[in-house]
Structure 1
Amino acid sequence: MAGYTPEMAGGGSRGGGHARHPPLSSLIVSTIAAFSAVVVFAILRSAYEDAMSRTTTLLGHNLEPTPWHPFPHDIRRRRPPPRAAFRCAPSLSCLPPPILPPAANATRGRRCPAYFAAIRRDLAPWRRRGGGVTRGMLEAARRRAAMRVAITGGGRRLHVELYYACVQSRALFTAWSILQLMRRYPGRVPDVELMFDCMDRPAINRTEYAGGDGGGGGGGAPPPLFRYCTTRDHFDIPFPDWSFWGWPETNIEPWNEQFRDIKQGAKAMTWQDRVATAYWKGNPDVASPLRVALLSCNDTNMWHAEIMRQNWDEEAKSGYQNSKLSSQCTHRYKIYAEGYAWSVSLKYILSCGSMALIIDPQYEDFFSRGLQPEANFWPVHATGMCESIRDAVEWGEAHPAEAEAVGRRGQLLMQELDMDAVYDYMLHLLTEYARLMRFRPEAAAQEVCEASVLCLADEKQRRFLEASAATPAVSEPCVMPPDDGE
């Protein structure tokens, strides 16, 4: 108690004598001790913050961009503030996940869409001659991978080793997608170890690997590398892209919700009421000669085409009022043009129910193998592109019922591509890949769990992630279509 003295304990002096204070030496010692404690705390906090700043996370804040696909990446600006490092530190050490039982009385799965058969074709180079995937092959894939992904513990734990930063929040959402697969099918996801590149263009060229029946080149089977797309000239293995769980940088919601909105917007206008021209709106400034050439087709009289430039920076400032996908189903024909490589816009264009005009696609994602020319889309040629767009529109106007049917079948393909199908594709792909592995998966450097992903995410990212959280399946996964040997 302040001012306490022995005299006061005895009732104090009648003359109201002054209280005695601690000696000066005690004050000096106390001050030095307090100052030392502050210094030690500051040193420890600085060391901790330095350690956290060097800890790689799915945000890629302290990683360099991939050298094979450079992109603007301000490391200093993206470094999380110290408070974020302190806040997320407990979450970065994941607790063992609970053991969730599979759904009771699960109903038999439906037949998988026909494009699931491409899983076997994608993995064929490692199945031929029974060689499988060796650890040496996996390590060879590292030179073009952004991260190593390992699922262990009976499909219950996810580990990631990060090599390069991915553009925007792709790495964060890709890790989330795998965590949701594990939640969707508890105990069914196999233990695997794989290399993943979260950038766009395929890298494993067929001509370089004779053992993979690539037609030439040096040596045996190719290194297995997962990414979002491939081509007929590459061995890269397609995996569902991050945008199925949302794309916060462009304000695109998780797929199930986004498709519902687009379909509802499409119902607002009948085919007869839609504008009888071909429409495209996108970003041409992505090193895409095709999109740059498409700008010259912007003439509704000559080419029956309306080509609009999308500026995402300006859209972000205006609250994305002019980029809502649900309000872009006002034309009878919609154009799909690849960008730097494949584009996530394909599924949104097909969802409108307009006749999709697809310009000579070079890249394939996992579901685009289900496209059939003149059945659920209309092919347009890159050579003489404006004339080809004009001819497609004039054919559609001369055959309105057939053109509407093409658009309707494209929309139906997207309706069948619900999140059940996405998770089933992921499960079958990883299951088939696991059968080819000739080594035991090892946990990578950093464990990832839902708590760590949500903690690293900003407010908008967290909203998208939480909105796309999966629930345990109430039915068996779909049944793979038989291959030639079954």
Structure 2
Amino acid sequence: MGFSRNVVRLPRNSPIRIHNRNSKNPNSNIRSYSIPSLASPIFPGLVLLAFFSFAVFLGFHKVDKFISETKTIAGHNLAPTPWHRFPPKIFNNGTASFTTIFHCSYLSCRISSSTHTKNQKLPSPSSSSPLSCPSYFQWIHQDLAPWALSRISIANLMEARDHAAFRIIISNGRLYADFYYACVQTRAMFTVWGLLQLLQRYPGMVPDVDLMFDCMDRPVINKSRYKKRTPPPLFRYCTTQQHFDIPFPDWSFWGWPEVNIGPWDEEFKSIKLGSQSHYWTMKRPTAYWKGNPDVNSPVREKLLSCNDSRTWGAEIMRQNWVEEAKAGYEQSKLANQCNYRYKIYAEGFAWSVSLKYIVSCGSLTLIVDPVYEDFFSRGLMPRQSYWPVSPTNLCQSVKFAVDWGNEHPVEAELIGRRGQDYMNDLNMEQVYDYMYHLIVEYSKLQDFKPVPPSSAQEVCVESLLCFADTNQRKFLERSSASLSSSYPCSLPSPNHQDIERWIKEKQEIKSDIQRSEKAQREKGSQRSVAN
């Protein structure tokens, strides 16, 4: 027996005021309200509508929570690295941010088919052998030596996670990233971009690999802590002789939009052209440095006291990036800073990206004895491609170098030109070859098959560009790589004796110069006493 209509009777004073169509007595104390029965065709629709509305609400709530927990290459939902704090990144939390994270993180790489480069191939190798890599590539073997016997286990890798800002997994030609902390500015974005360009340059050749990366400046894997056990493998932009951190080409090779420095090949050409605007004899016969001394750098703070061209032969300038940005970076163009015979390099908070730009000028580079080393600086030789300066007697050491150079202009110019030639050889082809060989040799040490964890996301060219703003995108696109026309250079075999010989030769040259400086100071003191 079906029900055609249910009748609900409410008291007259009920707050629900519905007209009683069935009542013939307008003064009745009882009102009736008709609702659809279970058999009515309207009832299932109402139920479905209510269920759908609840599902949509629940879905949006879950998606919103999901997106709020999605960590991105731009730094969304990531705290700054605790070992080097900086102001947290601020993003628009409105719809634009929500849709950007969702689209860029989960749709871009699926929509694009250009990411996977399996169908692209390098030309068949010629009958002649590939060119030999530069001698400093030997350091790849030296940097990976701690794992040569023990190899790298997954447990060993995960120990490095405590010091990493992100994890990179390359599997079957695709790149995946697991982000732990935000990197300052766009370091993470441009570093990962460099890896994506490597995959495009050498498709199908980059092996599966799993590595941890820190994007800040100071090495942390101290050798003194790992005398009896295998250190965790951690990649970063620099290392020291007291650390096991593995140096990797820094982000600025693909551009540094925050300070308007272009991709390396572009920037080097511009600097070299600027250096040719003055003959050596027409360059100012003083040493020049421009930078930020307020970075907790004792060397740079001490350098400020050398700002006297008459006494110390040096011009030391503060770099105010805020003011430079307002002026369109006109006063900080690197190509306009090569009209000095001598350029000073001094480390900042730690290692500094400025070294490659300073040496590129062709001036005689005065390098204040560095603690940190990047992947290419270990190939520079004192008195051949730069002049070493002692941090102990800094101003006197700068003065000695300037006086020596002005007394030996031919030799000084030659050393400066050798430094510039060294940087000229360090083109992006060489950078990619170094990255390739380092990753290949590292992958040989892994005793496990790299598999992207569930927390990792695929990053492709399209998804990375999706997160970039208009200015960042311009820099990234200018530094994009194409399929290589040749195979990587041939990596030399390990030769620990060569490394030891280079280190010893460098130290002997530095000691010889320091002895000459000391003799000059003593001679000057004797003159002062005699007067």
Return the offset for 1:88.
4.8
Alignment of structure 1 residues 414-425 onto 2, 5 Å: 414-425=423-434
Is the 8 Å Cα contact of residues 335 and 358 (structure 1) preserved in structure 2? yes
Q: Within the alignment, does 1:220 sit opposite 2:229 as a pair? A: yes
- The 1:467–1:133 alpha-carbon spacing in structure 2 relative to 1, beyond 3 Å, is same
Match of 1:64 among 66, 74, 79: 79
Is the 8 Å Cα contact of residues 198 and 436 (structure 2) preserved in structure 1? yes
Letter in 1 for 2:268: F
Structure 2 distance, partners of 1:288, 1:81, is 40
Return the offset for 1:83.
1.2
Return the offset for 1:45.
5.1
Secondary structure, counterpart of 2:212 in structure 1: strand
**Stretch moving more, 361-370 or 44-53:** 44-53
Q: Deviations over 1:181-205 (max 9, x none)?
A: 0001001101000111010000000
Find the counterpart in structure 2 of residue 29 from structure 1: none
- The 1:385–1:90 alpha-carbon spacing in structure 2 relative to 1, beyond 3 Å, is same
Find the counterpart in structure 2 of residue 297 from structure 1: 306
Is the 8 Å Cα contact of residues 205 and 234 (structure 1) preserved in structure 2? yes
Is the 8 Å Cα contact of residues 61 and 79 (structure 1) preserved in structure 2? no
Q: Deviations over 1:405-460 (max 9, x none)?
A: 00000000100000000000000000000110011101141111111100101111
Q: Within the alignment, does 1:308 sit opposite 2:317 as a pair? A: yes
Is the 8 Å Cα contact of residues 70 and 76 (structure 2) preserved in structure 1? no
Structure 2 distance, partners of 1:116, 1:428, is 9
Q: Within the alignment, does 1:157 sit opposite 2:168 as a pair? A: no
Structure 2 distance, partners of 1:79, 1:220, is 46
Alignment of structure 1 residues 83-94 onto 2, 5 Å: 83-93=96-106, 94=109
Find the counterpart in structure 1 of residue 472 from structure 2: 461
Structure 1 distance, partners of 2:60, 2:285, is 64
Q: Within the alignment, does 1:398 sit opposite 2:402 as a pair? A: no
Letter in 2 for 1:54: E
Letter in 1 for 2:142: R
**Larger Cα Rg: Structure 1 or Structure 2?**
2
How well do the aligned residues superpose, as a CA RMSD in angstroms? 2.3
Find the counterpart in structure 2 of residue 192 from structure 1: 209
Structure 2 distance, partners of 1:414, 1:484, is 24
Structure 1 distance, partners of 2:212, 2:55, is 42
Match of 1:181 among 187, 198, 203: 198
Match of 2:69 among 45, 54, 64: 54
Return the offset for 1:314.
1.4
**Stretch moving more, 101-110 or 440-449:** 101-110
Letter in 2 for 1:70: R
Task: Report which structure shows greater RCO (CA 8 Å, sep ≥6).
Answer: 1
Structure 2 distance, partners of 1:98, 1:121, is 32
Return the offset for 1:317.
1.6
Find the counterpart in structure 1 of residue 504 from structure 2: none
Match of 1:171 among 185, 188, 192: 188
- The 1:252–1:121 alpha-carbon spacing in structure 2 relative to 1, beyond 3 Å, is same
Return the offset for 1:110.
1.6
Return the offset for 1:336.
0.2
Give the unaligned 5+ runs of structure 2.
1-47, 498-531
- The 1:269–1:81 alpha-carbon spacing in structure 2 relative to 1, beyond 3 Å, is farther
Is the 8 Å Cα contact of residues 53 and 79 (structure 1) preserved in structure 2? no
Find the counterpart in structure 2 of residue 114 from structure 1: 135
Secondary structure, counterpart of 1:322 in structure 2: helix
Q: Within the alignment, does 1:100 sit opposite 2:119 as a pair? A: yes
Find the counterpart in structure 2 of residue 237 from structure 1: 246
- The 1:474–1:173 alpha-carbon spacing in structure 2 relative to 1, beyond 3 Å, is same
Q: Deviations over 1:218-240 (max 9, x none)?
A: x3111100000000000000000
Structure 1 distance, partners of 2:218, 2:77, is 23
Structure 1 distance, partners of 2:136, 2:93, is 41
Secondary structure, counterpart of 1:374 in structure 2: coil
Return the offset for 1:403.
0.2
Give the unaligned 5+ runs of structure 1.
1-32, 211-218
Find the counterpart in structure 2 of residue 18 from structure 1: none
Secondary structure, counterpart of 2:332 in structure 1: coil
Match of 2:387 among 378, 384, 388: 378
Aligned length: 443
**Stretch moving more, 339-348 or 312-321:** 312-321
Match of 1:363 among 361, 368, 372: 372
Structure 2 distance, partners of 1:319, 1:81, is 30
Is the 8 Å Cα contact of residues 218 and 350 (structure 2) preserved in structure 1? yes
> Taking every aligned residue pair, what percent have the same amino acid on both sides?
53
- The 1:355–1:174 alpha-carbon spacing in structure 2 relative to 1, beyond 3 Å, is same
Structure 1 distance, partners of 2:247, 2:393, is 30
Q: Within the alignment, does 1:407 sit opposite 2:416 as a pair? A: yes
- The 1:124–1:320 alpha-carbon spacing in structure 2 relative to 1, beyond 3 Å, is same
Structure 1 distance, partners of 2:273, 2:141, is 36
Structure 1 distance, partners of 2:53, 2:253, is 48
Letter in 2 for 1:450: V
Match of 1:267 among 266, 270, 276: 276
| Greater than 6 Å deviation, 4+ residue runs | 33-43
Secondary structure, counterpart of 1:272 in structure 2: helix
Secondary structure, counterpart of 1:194 in structure 2: strand
Letter in 1 for 2:134: P
Find the counterpart in structure 2 of residue 430 from structure 1: 439
Secondary structure, counterpart of 2:87 in structure 1: coil
Is the 8 Å Cα contact of residues 171 and 452 (structure 2) preserved in structure 1? yes
Match of 1:138 among 157, 166, 175: 157
Return the offset for 1:66.
1.1
Letter in 1 for 2:76: H
Q: Within the alignment, does 1:472 sit opposite 2:483 as a pair? A: yes
Secondary structure, counterpart of 1:78 in structure 2: coil
Match of 1:484 among 478, 495, 513: 495
Return the offset for 1:103.
2.0
- The 1:295–1:37 alpha-carbon spacing in structure 2 relative to 1, beyond 3 Å, is farther
Return the offset for 1:91.
3.4
Structure 1 distance, partners of 2:346, 2:283, is 21
